Amino acid sequence: MMSFYKQKFTAILLMLVVSLSAQSQDKGLTPADKSKIDVLLKSMTLEEKIGQLSLFTSDWDVTGPSLNGNYKKLIKNGSVGAIFNAYTVDYVRELQRMAVEESRLKIPLIFGYDVIHGHRTIFPIPLAQACSWDMAAIEQSERIAAQEATAEGLNWTFAPMVDIARDPRWGRVAEGAGEDTWLGCKVAAARVRGFEGTDLKATNTMIACVKHFAAYGAAQAGRDYHTVDMSMLSLYEWYLPPYKAAVDAGVGSAMTSFNEIAGVPSTANRWLLTDLLRKDWGFKGFVVTDYTSINEMVNHGNAADNKDAARLAINAGVDMDMQGSTYLDYLAPLLEEKKVNLSDIDQSVRWILEAKAKLGLFDDPYRYCSKERQEKEVMTPEQQLFARKFVAESCVLLKNPGQLLPIPGNIKKIAVIGPLGDSKKDMLGNWSAAGNWEKCVTLVEGLNNRPGKQYEVVYEKGCNVTDADRSGFDAAIKLASTADYVILALGENGWMSGEASSRSNIDIPGVQNELAEAIVKTGKPVAVALFNGRPLAISQLNSLPVAILETWFGGTQAGNGIADVLFGDVNPSGKLTMTFPLNLGQVPVFYNSKNTGRPYNPADPGAKYVSRYLDCSNDPLYPFGYGLSYTTFSYSALESIVDGGKIKVSISVTNTGNRDGEEVVQLYVRDKVGSITRPVKELKGFRKVLIKKGETRSLEFNLTTDDLAFYHPDLKKYWEPGEFTVFVGGNSAETMAKTIEVK
């Protein structure tokens, strides 16, 4: 009886979820919109239909290899459905006017852009944002990004990038949420909600684009655009879920990835784009390629020429060709040759027209062209305040010997030394959209901006980021010797991560380590502010008696937010979402790996035939989930109660230091015996909580057996009864553990 009701309830729940997700996918598309689109489709020539499937860049920004200067002519011809890299009200209005006044059918254009971590107000790079573990702040940053971008004519962003990445050589780790799939799903959904809001017709929301579908983050050897090859099981278990989370959150578009998977470039992968994305996941937005990725299939070697590539793409389920002109040039002859179907072309046009209707462009093509909004809603003081707080929240304190940080209040002279101490341009990081580097606050400026400051700030560069010039060392050492406290500003240039920025060596570049050693020899207290877009191999720096604050690239408010942390106005609470290796040889090193049949046992360090390195530990320098605070936390009273399919985990966390602080309390699970092997640990929950000094907080996590499910060789996801270890702690390596049985 019980189980009958349970089944019925589950079925109703499932119907509700499906219909809610269908609603969130519809995003305000009305029956009237749909019939308007039917009428429009009937009046379109084949050329006009193909035009809707074509996306071209304006000449305002360069985000790829080739530019098409003809875009204005194409707009007037009705040969373009959307334009990217064009913004500001005047410019968008000018191009939109060409579309709606000079083209035959007057179909408005969509305007897209890479709004990746802010539009004008640039926030920390996405990897840094993820280290805040603050989903509300991540969502809010996209809300602000959408507010600013739509105030400048845009209505489509090529974000979020949700590619799981385990190899820090790959420069695009900067754009994602890190190595963990579970957390990646939460971040993906938060970003989509932030950009799209609940109503796409609102003038301050925009269509998001989940990318790069799929598994772009698994490029071999961390080299951008390189081949991806993995088992279907890994694809389902680790790489696909964040894209699915974005789809479930209602994302309006998806971008194919440049890479192939098992011999099939994503742009030609019908299984991926049609069977999985459309049929299994119910995606109702439109699919766009990445920049010329149709044409690139000729290089991949699965298409004879651009025409052949266009055939593969449309037959796979690609709706819009970004910058490749292959649809424009070849879809008509391909149709005549019966190599593609009109019904597929019509369906693609429909998805794109629906997107335009969802944005309200048919009601008013200029609805994102308000001069008033452009003046009032961009770079506001509130947006700057939020950005500053977000910078501070994204910083991760890696090391703090002898409580070198926060900087003591009685310091009279601070020397900032290092190539990144006063470099506005670098603060933006990669993909800075319409961010203006001149408006960025550097570390030196941030230190000087503090109201009522009682100290002097002096600066010497010491060296450049990448070359071997040591001629500035002497001046830097001399200046440091005159100060009471030194902040070393070291790391990578902003351009060294992001697209096409893979590195084969992830050390701190140039002679910066040497500079650090020389400065430490002055005997002054030293804290390092590290600027970088990926985990670096920092063992050499780490061996020095210095504090290290990972600041990433903080964007417009970088210096102010970092100063807030350095002085302790904000107690750091960030935790790494990507492992910092001991050295490059360990890469890829990530927390949720498998145990192997010959695991290394620290109690038997001399054992030979075990899975280990001869020359270094298996453990990374800083594990996933790691980050210090100016206070300390202790964990106790881990309990776990299993009641049917429900697992309740409770823990007490005490602030044992002498200042209030936020802690990211993390819950991991290990399935001890599975029909296929399971990782040594998997994140299944977290709570970010403020704990006052001396206070103990009891926290509870509630899991169900769904949280224990994993993909099986038949690609079905279900859980297996048995023993599980539950871990709770402040990072993935230091946890309390309890074994439970779930039947």
Give the pairing of strands 156-157 and 722-729.
unpaired
Which residues share a beta bridge with 210?
Answer: 254
The residue number with the shortest CB distance to ligand NOJ is 63
Amino acid code (one letter) for 262: A
Which residues share a beta bridge with 254?
Answer: 210, 287
Among 48, 114, 139, 148, binds ligand NOJ (CB under 6 A): 114
Name which of 134, 135, 157 is nearest 145 in CA terms: 157
CB of 357 to ligand NOJ, least distance (A): 24
**Which of positions 397-416 make contact with ligand NOJ (CB under 6 A)?**
none
Per-residue interface string for the shown chain with ligand NOJ, residues 154-173, x marking contact by CB under 6 A: ----x---------------
Instruction: Select 114 or 319, whichever has its Cβ closest to ligand NOJ.
Output: 114
d(CA 591, CA 166) in angstroms, rounded, equals 10
CB of 324 to ligand NOJ, least distance (A): 12
Q: Please state, in angstroms and as integers, the Cα–Cα distance from residue 382 to each residue in 44, 144, 388, following that order.
A: 46, 10, 10
Q: Please state, in angstroms and as integers, the Cα–Cα distance from residue 2 to each residue in 9, 12, 265, 536, 645, following that order.
A: 11, 15, 49, 55, 15
d(CA 191, CA 173) in angstroms, rounded, equals 16
How many positions of this chain bind ligand NOJ (CB under 6 A)?
8
Instruction: Select 256 or 400, whichever has its Cβ closest to ligand NOJ.
Output: 256
Among 21, 63, 88, 696, binds ligand NOJ (CB under 6 A): 63
Instruction: Select 64 or 674, whichever has its Cβ closest to ligand NOJ.
Output: 64
290 near ligand NOJ, rule: CB under 6 A? yes
| DSSP class per residue in 460-513 | E--S-SSS---TTHHHHHHHHHH-SEEEEEEE--GGGSSTT---S--BPPTTHH
CB of 164 to ligand NOJ, least distance (A): 15
Angle between helices 326-336 and 306-316 (to 10 degrees): 80
Among 26, 46, 64, 707, binds ligand NOJ (CB under 6 A): 64
d(CA 558, CA 494) in angstroms, rounded, equals 12
| DSSP class per residue in 227-291 | -B---HHHIIIIISHHHHHHHHTT-SEEEE-SSEETTEEGGG-HIIIIIIIIIIT---SEEE-ST
Instruction: Select 63 or 539, whichever has its Cβ closest to ligand NOJ.
Output: 63
d(CA 310, CA 324) in angstroms, rounded, equals 9
CB of 588 to ligand NOJ, least distance (A): 21
Instruction: Select 313 or 621, whichever has its Cβ closest to ligand NOJ.
Output: 313
Instruction: Select 288 or 477, whichever has its Cβ closest to ligand NOJ.
Output: 288
Instruction: Select 158 or 485, whichever has its Cβ closest to ligand NOJ.
Output: 158
Per-residue interface string for the shown chain with ligand NOJ, residues 187-226, x marking contact by CB under 6 A: ------------------------x---------------
CB of 207 to ligand NOJ, least distance (A): 13
198 contacts: CB under 8 Å, gap ≥ 6: none
Instruction: Select 430 or 586, whichever has its Cβ closest to ligand NOJ.
Output: 430
CA end-to-end distance (rounded Å), the chain: 21
Specify whether 290 is catalytic: yes
CB of 362 to ligand NOJ, least distance (A): 26
CB of 330 to ligand NOJ, least distance (A): 22
CB of 126 to ligand NOJ, least distance (A): 12
Name which of 183, 214, 229, 190 is nearest 280 in CA terms: 214
68 near ligand NOJ, rule: CB under 6 A? no
329 contacts: CB under 8 Å, gap ≥ 6: 306, 307, 310
Instruction: Select 257 or 512, whichever has its Cβ closest to ligand NOJ.
Output: 257
Please count the other Cβ atoms lying within 10 Å of the Cβ belonging to residue 545.
Answer: 11
Among 139, 196, 499, 663, binds ligand NOJ (CB under 6 A): 499
CA–centroid distance for 344 within its chain: 32
Q: Which of 33, 134, 248, 290 is catalytic?
A: 290
CB of 634 to ligand NOJ, least distance (A): 43
In the numeric block, the tokens 């003809």 are attached to: 70
422 near ligand NOJ, rule: CB under 6 A? no
Among all residues, which ones are annotated catalytic? 290
Which positions lie near ligand NOJ, rule CB under 6 A?
63-64, 114, 158, 211, 290-291, 499
